[in-house]
Structure formats: structure tokens, C-alpha cells
């Protein structure tokens, strides 16, 4: 457990002898991945969620990149994450989530494996226009022994299906949470993370929760 140095009023407090002290608040720190195929909305979701200025490593896509990145369904995309996205979100109960967005392309798999160290789970974003692209990501996460939830990003021009059909199409385990969300919407994105966190913490010993 970590200690956040703060007082109920946001500043230091004093005892009767004028000795200054900073009361601590216990926090549970959890490292989570935001994963998914190329162009599925990982950067957008972290930008919507982070309570601090998020870190992005986006670069403009080049003409050369068009030969290795499949733009089917995301023709309007002009940038791509080349390292990580990072954000932080505090949930009620002093649960602090550190969110690491991972590149979606196969060529970044070694980097993905480094980022995954110490993570307790992953939120996998999916796109109904390209559901099959999510299988490789879920395979990698399962190989790493991480629990995960799936959030189907409801793009305006994407086909919409009920969750039962999506679960069947993605061949999800009955315990794996599946939610629909608009990655641009903070409330919906928070709900997706809460579904993941509940799933992860239900299967994680207390002593293993701090990154």
C-alpha cells in the first residue's frame, strides 16, 4: 500500500504544539493495460479518462507505413502510437489506476511484452468492423496470464450487435466482462474500467496489487 500525503482540507495540519504533520491516506495502486488492434481507440480512451495530462507517443503515419498497417475500417486515421500512452485515474475508495496504452501493430510485440510486466489486467478494445483483429491481442494477453475485459468501441459508422452475439463472435469465457462504450465518453469509459477492475481484484491477492 502507498501513502498519499494530504489533509482533509488539501493542505498540512498542525497539532497543539504547532508541529506540522501530513496525515496519510491508504491507496491501492493498480497497473492496467489498454490494449487492442491498430486504430481501435486506445489513445482516445486514455485521453478521456486521465485525471492528469496524459502521455502520448503518437506520430503521423507515413506513406511507407501504409504498406504494413492495415487501414481497412480506419481510413481516416492519420496518427499511430509508437511506444505507449499513459494516464492515471483515481476511483472511489482510493483505488488508483495507472493506464498503459499499448501499440496495436504486430511489429511492436516486444515492446508490448515489456509494458505488460507488473500489470494486473487489460482492457481490450474491439471494433465490430474488425472483430477478428482482436483475437491476436486476446491471445497475447492470455499467454501473459493476465485477466481482461472487452470493451466494444461503438464507432458511429460501425455495425451494432447485442452483447450475446458479440460474446459468441469473440468466443469469450463466461467470466470475462464485455461492455459497450464510446471511447470518447468519460462516463462510459469509466464504466468499462470498473468492469475490468472488479474482475481483476476479485482474483488478485491484496499483496500483489501495487505495481
Give 61-87 pLDDT, tens digit per residue: 445 444 444 545 444 544 444 458 899
Length of the chain: 211
Total domains present in the chain: 1
What pLDDT does residue 9 have? Answer: 37
Residue 126 has pLDDT above 70, yes or no: yes
Residue 184 has pLDDT above 60, yes or no: yes
Ranking 17-31, 68-82, 154-168, 172-186 by mean pLDDT, the lowest is: 68-82
**In which band, very low, low, confident or very high, does the pLDDT at 160 lie, cut at 50, 70 and 90?**
very high
Burial of 57 (0-12, 13-18, 19+ CB in 10 A): middle
- Ramachandran sector of residue 193 (left: φ over 0; alpha: ψ -120 to 50; beta: rest): alpha
Rg of the chain over CA atoms, in angstroms?
19
Is 50 inside a domain boundary? yes
Residue 91 has pLDDT above 60, yes or no: yes
Is 15 inside a domain boundary? no
Is 12 inside a domain boundary? no
Decide if 1 contacts 26 (C-beta within 8 A).
yes
Decide if 122 contacts 113 (C-beta within 8 A).
no
Residues 6+ away with beta carbon under 8 Å from 155: 41, 127, 128, 129
Is 108 inside a domain boundary? yes
**In which band, very low, low, confident or very high, does the pLDDT at 14 lie, cut at 50, 70 and 90?**
very low
Tell me the pTM. Answer: 0.75
Is 13 inside a domain boundary? no
Is 174 inside a domain boundary? yes
Per DSSP, the three-state class of 113 is helix
- Count of other CB atoms within 10 angstroms of residue 93: 8
What CATH code is carried by the domain that includes residue 153? 3.40.50.300
Is 3 inside a domain boundary? no
Is 21 inside a domain boundary? no
Residue 35 has pLDDT above 50, yes or no: yes
Q: By residue range, what is the domain housing residue 55?
A: 26-208
Amino acid at each position: 500500500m502507498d501513502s498519499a500525503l494530504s489533509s482533509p482540507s488539501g493542505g498540512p495540519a498542525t497539532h497543539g504544539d504547532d508541529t506540522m504533520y501530513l496525515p496519510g491516506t491508504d491507496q491501492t495502486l493498480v497497473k492496467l493495460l489498454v490494449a487492442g488492434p491498430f486504430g481501435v481507440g486506445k489513445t482516445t480512451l486514455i485521453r478521456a479518462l486521465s485525471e492528469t495530462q496524459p502521455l502520448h507517443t503518437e506520430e503521423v503515419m507515413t506513406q511507407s507505413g501504409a504498406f504494413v498497417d492495415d487501414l481497412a475500417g480506419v481510413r481516416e486515421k492519420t496518427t499511430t502510437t509508437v511506444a505507449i500512452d499513459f494516464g492515471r485515474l483515481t476511483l472511489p475508495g482510493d483505488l488508483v489506476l495507472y493506464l498503459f496504452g499499448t501499440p496495436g501493430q504486430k511489429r511492436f510485440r516486444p515492446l508490448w511484452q515489456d509494458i505488460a510486466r507488473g500489470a494486473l489486467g487489460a482492457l481490450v478494445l474491439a471494433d465490430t468492423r474488425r472483430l477478428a483483429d482482436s483475437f491476436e491481442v486476446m491471445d497475447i494477453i492470455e499467454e501473459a496470464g493476465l485477466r481482461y475485459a472487452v470493451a466494444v468501441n461503438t464507432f458511429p459508422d460501425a455495425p451494432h450487435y447485442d452483447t450475446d452475439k458479440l460474446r459468441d463472435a469473440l468466443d469469450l469465457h463466461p467470466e470475462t466482462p464485455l461492455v459497450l462504450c464510446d471511447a470518447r465518453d468519460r462516463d462510459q469509459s469509466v464504466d468499462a474500467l470498473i468492469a475490468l477492475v472488479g474482475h481483476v481484484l476479485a482474483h488478485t491477492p491484496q499483496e500483489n496489487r501495487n505495481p
